[in-house]
Structure formats: structure tokens, C-alpha cells
């Protein structure tokens, strides 16, 4: 099993893979571990919905801190829906968008997508990218 701070997936490969899995454009893509939060993509639509850069930065920073705390507190995201042996995910809403958090073998991926986006293809793509 890779550590929580192994070099993450390639940004270009990640974006190509997730775009193929998604029906709608992606608003946010980030990969995280115990001590890192690597922002791969923020859409123009998401940026515009916040009006100014400081508001967007504050929201993403808060999200990153919440992910880090949850990662440290729960390790394996206990109590979430398992999708395979070593993969768990949960979904929720953030500012009218679907928030998907995928945890996979010591790393996580955060996706902010259209509220009607299907979860399974994105979770499977995240699994592939995170090395399961």
C-alpha cells in the first residue's frame, strides 16, 4: 500500500480520465493525503460563482482543512459506504454542487461536480487514479 504522501497521480492524466468519466464539466479536482492537498483544477464557472478570488480561496482552504481533519480523525473514513475492499466514498452538497470525497489506500480525491452527475463512474475513475 502506498503511503498517504506518495507522489499523486499525474495532473494531465487525472483530468483526462475524470473528464471521460463525467457527463458534465468538473468544477473542482483535488488530491490529498495526511499532510498534502494538491489542487488540480478549478473551473471558470466555480471561480465566477464566488465573485472574487479571496472568497474562492477561503472556501477551498476551508474544504482542504476539513478534508485533512477528516483524514486524520477517521483514517479509513469509518462508517462511509464501501464501493470495493479498500475504497470508500461519501457525497454531499457544497454551494449547489455535488461534493464527492473518495478515499483509497491512504490518499483521497475531492471532486465538485454538477448536482445530477452520476457518482459511480467518477468513483471508479478515482480508484484507478489513486492506484487501486
80-126 confidence digits (pLDDT tens): 544 444 567 889 998 899 999 888 767 789 999 999 999 999 999 99
Identify which has the larger pLDDT, 28 or 88: 28
List the Cα angle 95/101/105 in 5-degree steps: 165
The pLDDT assigned to 82 comes to: 47
Return the CATH number at 122.
3.30.450
Overall number of domains in the chain: 1
Q: Is residue 6 part of a domain?
A: no
CA 54 to CA 5: how far, in whole Å? 28
Q: Is residue 38 part of a domain?
A: yes
Domain interval for residue 92: 11-130
pTM: 0.80
Q: Is residue 1 part of a domain?
A: no
pLDDT, tens digit, for every residue of 29-77?
Answer: 998 877 778 889 999 999 898 888 888 888 888 887 887 777 666 554 4
Amino acid at each position: 500500500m502506498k503511503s498517504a504522501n506518495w507522489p499523486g497521480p499525474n495532473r494531465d492524466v487525472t483530468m483526462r480520465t475524470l473528464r471521460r468519466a463525467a457527463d458534465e464539466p468538473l468544477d473542482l479536482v483535488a488530491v490529498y493525503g495526511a499532510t498534502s492537498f494538491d489542487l488540480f483544477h478549478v473551473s471558470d464557472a466555480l471561480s465566477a460563482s464566488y465573485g472574487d478570488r479571496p472568497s474562492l480561496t477561503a472556501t477551498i482552504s476551508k474544504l482542504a482543512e476539513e478534508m485533512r481533519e477528516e483524514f486524520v480523525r477517521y483514517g479509513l473514513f469509518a462508517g462511509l459506504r464501501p464501493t470495493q475492499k479498500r475504497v470508500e466514498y461519501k457525497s454531499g452538497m457544497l454551494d449547489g454542487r455535488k461534493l464527492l470525497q473518495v478515499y483509497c489506500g491512504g490518499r483521497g480525491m475531492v471532486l465538485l461536480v454538477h448536482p445530477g452527475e452520476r457518482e459511480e463512474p467518477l468513483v471508479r475513475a478515482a480508484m484507478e487514479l489513486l492506484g487501486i
